[in-house]
Structure 1
Amino acid sequence: MVVQADGDGAPAIGMPSGASEQEAQRLRLILEAAPSAMLMVDRSGHVVLINAQAEQLFGIGRARLLEMEVEDLIPRRSRAAHHTYRSRYLARPAARPMGAGRDLYGLRGDGTEVPIEIGLNPITIGEESFVLASVIDISERLATQAALESVGRDSLRRSILASMPCSVVATDLEGRILAANPATEVLLGYPEAELVGQPLGRLYSGPGHGGRAADLPAVATGEEREVDYRRRDGSTVAVGEVISPVIDDDGGVVTGYLAVAFDITKRVEARARVAYLASHDSLTGLPNRATLTRHLEEAIREAERKQELVALLLLDVDHFKRVNDSLGHHAGDRLLLGLADRLRHTAQDRDLVARLGGDEFVVVICGLTRIDEVTARVDRLAAALPGSVTVDNREVLATASIGCAVYPDHGRSPAHMLKHADIAMYRAKAAGRNNLRWYDESMGADGSDKLVLSTALQQALDREGELSVAYQPQVDLATGTLVGFEALARWSSPALGVVPPDRFIPVAEDSGLIAHLGAHVLRQACRDAVTLREELDLPLRMAVNVSPRQFARSTWLDELDAALADSGLDPAALELEITEGTLMDDDNDVRLVLHELKSIGTRIVVDDFGQGYSSLAYLTRFPVDKLKIDREFVRRIAATHADAAVIDAILAMSHALGMRVAAEGVETREQVDYLSARGCDEAQGFYYGEGVPLPEVARHAHLLAASAHPSPSRAEGLM
């Protein structure tokens, strides 16, 4: 956990486990709104987050507070004992309300001490544990209590009571009110005359308050308790109340009681806010992982007792990083809020909708007895989820990959159900996203688990022969001739068999192995490009994908130079395909790298264009040679006029800006004719052939050449 400065100079928490900077800022704002001093402390005792009230209480500036340990804020004489208490608390963390535990003193920046009261709440952010402390200055309360100890002896009792800021009510031994100070009328609205002669119990709201005469000796301990008083207008107010016996100085006999009360509404609100923060996601307001786990445990116990089923759906937002990269994190937050709202309205009252963090949501469905009921409910929810979400006046398509696990078949604990739903969700992503998959045992056995794949992929990168490169042809639509290939990574594992790219590429991205995998493909593709150009005697281009992680590596340009030098490939024959997200970072480093690539002669291609929500005008800032229209638009050419219109617009504006345009995912003659008629320059897809290993490329190229024929003329297609 680190603390950094945001754009306004105010510290912002550096959230772990993928939490966004916006969520960290939101947490800081929530604590700033708390009426009491708030400090967040990590397991080592370091202060990692504070609010303005903490600065005021301790008289220490924010920057200095964030450099301190919590023991620095208490007197030296108490530090060893506090350290021991903190260690015991962290071993068994639990919420500790205000008024519980030990009396403490805080040490202010000027060396003075201030009596304080602390409430503690454990809180988990990502995988890290913290303690959120609410601190209240109780100087005024102690002063009031001290003054009350002398009330029975002081002849100026009435004037003292009148000056008290807290409500003070005096009773006889039977609990009948004898006097009340002006602060009581301010707090409750009762004039003193209206209260005198009434039982003390009249002040309380609800039973069990201990205000009856028989109960007073037991509650008159001088210790604070929290109760609700009822005002004259019928409303209630939470108070901290201390009831003490009034002792006769002469004989030490109890002659009555004093009830001192002060408004603790802000304390209760702060405690509720902290409790809410500990159990709910700060962005969406949905229950968080901890609340989900507790709910799931209860649901499983009830299902076991009633012989019912519990379904757990784990949803992962498709292409969420692309939205963050292209539109910014604030847009990603708006998308998550839109999906959270859609899930709330789709789920039934008994269902639980929670956010695990990042772009993952969970829905728990209970109370069903037959698997067909579960299937019907899950299918309805999955069908209602896809759709557009308005983000900054843009319509962003939102879909999710869903994995489903059912108690008892797929797990009898929250941990097992979440794990199995995660595996099923990962299989849904591998199947092309915007999908739902039910868990079955074969998923765990065949290596679908991300950890298994990540470990195996690391081993494959260290070995020879497991990873290879396949080459998919790219065709000029005007002439039908072969103009190049795209290099595609392939993996054949001895343990897992042939692993499809849509399974191992996401794992490589998540685990950070994508940079090593990309470097391997680049070296092999450059060598094979030289072989193919010589063997086929054609000026073929080789397209290689460059991941954002790979692009950001400081050593990447050196790796590229080495691949070109070792292979002898002409840089002009190499096309480097980058994502829109890489460009949308829009910093000087990106610009410098792109211009360096152009200076050595390589061609720059923007891959999957259209799904990242950027604009062609934006791309004019960069030296881009070609755009590749995302396969989803191509696939839906015949289905929707809207997608066809998008393609038309991309083609028209790209050509006006001097960029070539290629379409990927071309599978039918209808798509070929449509694209050719509108001036698309190149195409790639199963219509022309799938990716094949190097030894088979020449044969496929000859077959393609034999069947090649120009597409219908563009003029003819436009008529």
Structure 2
Amino acid sequence: MNQDQPIERGTRNEHEMLTGAERLSVEDLRRALEQRDQALALSRQNLQMAERVIDASQEGIIITDPSGVIEYVNPAFCQVTGYSAEEAIGRTPALLSSGRHDAVFYRQMWHELDTHGYWRGEIWNRRKGGALYLERLTITAIGDDDGKVTHYAALFTDITLIRENEERVRRLAYYDPLTRLPNRRLLEDRLALAIRHAHRQQQGLAVIFIDLDHFKQVNDTLGHAVGDELLLQVAERLQERLREDDTLARLGGDEFLALLPELHDVEEVTRVARRLIEAIGQPFAVGDHSFRVGCSLGISLYPADGTSADALVRSADTAMYRAKREGRNTYRLFRAEMNDHDSRLLALESALRDTVESGEGLAVHYQPLVNRDSGEVEGAEALVRWHHPAFGDVSPGVFVPMAERSGLIIPLGRWVMEEVAGQLRQWRQAGLNPPRVAINLSASQFWQRDLVEQIRRLFARFALPPGQIGFELTESVLLDRQQEAVAVLEALRELGCRLAIDDFGTGYSSLSYLQDLPLTTLKVDRRFVQRLTGDEGERRGSAAIVAAVTGLAQELGLRVVAEGVETEAQLEALSRYPVTLIQGYLTGRPVDAETFAECYLQQG
């Protein structure tokens, strides 16, 4: 046997073993490569599937880098926004900004993103063409294995049409389809809310039930199209005559209802009622047709006429039917006694209007202003008085505020100026030496553009010396428009007029304006004067106020008039203060011109 055979056989076995191992290794490698290829193919398939899903998505998708620069947008983004992928990529989502959201909104958005990793909400954006749209947006932060943000993904849906449909449904539910006014359902909600607010704030409110007169005749003779147009015009006129915070609703047919919150007195609502009646009473023009209709109004007041929405509406409805029965084209309050009071005020206002136009029943009385130390009459205040054949002597506390509310204060004030100027001329022509006379000016009178020119002409026409007539104003007239007031007052001072602040200390007293306004006189209100002789508490408080006012006036070179002095004790109490003039029943009551001349005027 050849000695080399065992060696050869061993070598062959080793070779076969190596060859087998190589085959196994190659096989494993082949299987690994096949698995890799399968995984890559599956990954490509999944990626293609994801891309197809993203491209087919009805939601807009934006992917940005960590700094917010857009890296990818899908076709839905382009469809919603109007921007192509080329226009959007490389820019930031700010290109969609609507301008409706402030910096605080975006700060809160990024705070949530940083804190929770996502943000979800609604946001207004703007399309490429400029149109606004509302979208529901979700932004998610995408991080790597270490938690570092690598991208942001935003998904959004255009919900503009959804919101518009919701708003359309809401309007159908809560608004009248013809006039676009709130309907009964929305009115009841607002009325219930107003009642709760009025209860908390201890305020009043009113409900006005409005029903057109003869509306059925318009519908029957001219047709429903004309009737609908009439209702639109009625709604417009009513809204124009209501206050800013009032609510007008259409209940159906020709019935409307107005809610007036935050009322302080019944005269507020009756003034509004008269404006509404006047507005509807004007002619209407619809197409080729011109006609008039009236309206009947019923008024209920919270809490006297009801404390619930239903009760107030029923009370107003009842009052409206009473207005229908009692002649139409008028209003009635639910409570009969209030109707009587209001009817008297309405009749009084009508009588005042006639009186101001004719001057009959009006008179000017004069109350002397007496020098405290010498007892001489240095001036007089002109006070208007009114005697009516039916109403008798009407208090100035009633008819002067009525004149201001109704706009009659301008012609009434003009009549007083003419009457005073004529009386002063008459006294001078009779050889008497009349004092300066002060006339009260309301805010409406003071802010007339031609006030100064009116007074200049008055002085010239009646040949009055400069300053023969002066004026008294309350603080509230001057404070809101102080700089403009200065110009008017300076012009009056150039005419020689003395200018007094009446009832000083009772309203909006501001010490700073006294040195800026060209005033000559302060009048201390009667309440402070009369309390100087009251109980200890009243004396102490009033003494401090009178001391402060008179001391300040003295420093500023202003005269001081103490009003309402009725007793010797009050006069004695005033001796401690630098008071110039006394006005009150103690030194002289208001009297007519003839009596004033007999008692106080001397030959010149």
CA radius of gyration, larger in = 2
TM-score for both structures, normalised by structure 2? 0.49
TM-score for both structures, normalised by structure 1? 0.41
Instruction: Indicate the structure with greater helix content.
Output: 2
